[in-house]
Structures are given as C-alpha cells and as structure tokens.
Structure 1
C-alpha cells in the first residue's frame, strides 16, 4: 500500500484501491493499518467506515447503499449514514458506525486511519 501526505491530525493516508474499482452503490473491504475498513461508492464519492456493524459485527461492506445514501447492514438491516456514521433508524442514539477520512488522489482512493491498539 502506498502512504502519502498527512490527513487530519497528521494521520497518513494509505492508498487502498483505484477509482472505479468499486461499483456505484456497493462496498469493498480492505485492511488498512491493521484495521478492517469498508469503502463505499455513492454518487461518485467514496466513503470509508469500519467494516464491522456496531450492532452484531456484521461485515458492513457486504451491505448496500440505499437511495438516501445510507449503508444497510446485510444481517439485520440497520442503516447508517455514510458521511458521519449516524444510525438512521434511531438518530438520537449514540450508536455510530465508525467513519474515516478518505480522498481521491491521482486515481487512487486513500484512507486515513489510526491502528487499533
């Protein structure tokens, strides 16, 4: 994996995939800094989240992006907003899908995460 530049708080961005390699409305799973990360494509943008649903640990990359821009968990259909991880079924809940900074540089999708401790 190629590491480039600094992310928020000095985090390094890591190249994980090529632009266009993830179909619109779908997700793919990658290991970044020893963490399992899901990358989703919606409306030409890429979003990075934890690949584990906070409900029961389902692989969230196996879910799908609905028309409202939420990712739907493949096990129990919990829905989370891709931009901030808000649990859309209960927005007042503190339950969130962890999100990470992502960007596109020179045709590569890059993600900035800290390793799990």
Structure 2
C-alpha cells in the first residue's frame, strides 16, 4: 500500500510552477501542467543538478539549467542529450482538496 505525503492544497501551485517535498529521503518536485500534476526526483540524471530550476516549454518538457538536457515531465523520458537516463517519477493524486505525492518512486 502506498504512503501518501501532503504537498499543498489544490490551487496553491500555479500552472507551470512547482513545489518541493521530501519523499523516501528524496527531494521531489511536484509540477502543475495545465491542471495536471506530475512529480519527479529533483535531480537531472546527467549531473545531479536540481531540475526544478530549469525552464518548462509548451510541450511539457523541462530543460536542465546547466547542460541543457531535456526531459518530458509527464513521462520522465529524455528528450534531448546529454542525459541518457530518464527522471525518476513519483505518483501524484488529488485527495479532497490536497495534492499528494506517493512516498515511493514509480520507476
């Protein structure tokens, strides 16, 4: 059974923005993409740089602020090198009025 961690109330993360939370001793970035929520470990898999500091484009991809590796926030997939490994994803749900992230990664 998945343990769920409260992040913030629905509406507290603006579209295109994120919040950070600790899950499984890992910093997780929870993103709002057009009213859908996605959570990934807050590290670029290329150089262990906080990925949440990157820019999000119209295709829901985030670009690492250091070496320009690009990832899909919906799937974690690498969209552009130099990264080779996908982002680690975490489950997200809305329970009542609260956004929650699962304590264990999906991948």
TM-score tier, shorter chain, comes to: 0.7 to 0.9
Q: Does 1:99 align with 2:83?
A: no
Partner of 2:103: 113
Pairing partner for 1:16 from 7, 22, 30: 7
Contact 2:72 2:79 in 1 (8 A): yes
Give the deviation of 1:31 after TM superposition.
Answer: 1.3
1:36-115 aligned at under 5 Å gives the runs 36-89=27-80, 95-114=85-104
Tell me the SS of whatever aligns to 1:88.
strand
Could you list the runs of 5+ residues in structure 2 that have no partner in the other structure?
Answer: none
TM-score, normalization by structure 1: 0.79
Q: Which runs of 4+ in 1 moved over 2 A?
A: none
Q: What is the deviation of 1:65?
A: 1.9
When the two chains are superposed, the root-mean-square deviation of aligned CA atoms in Å is: 1.8
- TM-score w.r.t. the length of structure 2 is 0.85
Q: What is the number of equivalent residue pairs in this alignment?
A: 104
1:16 Cα shift?
1.3
- C-alpha deviation, 1:94, in angstroms: 5.4
Deviations 1:27-60 (A, max 9, x none): 2222123211011111111100000110111111
How far, CA to CA, are the matches of 1:96 and 1:82 in structure 2? 10
In structure 1, runs of 5+ residues without a counterpart are 1-9
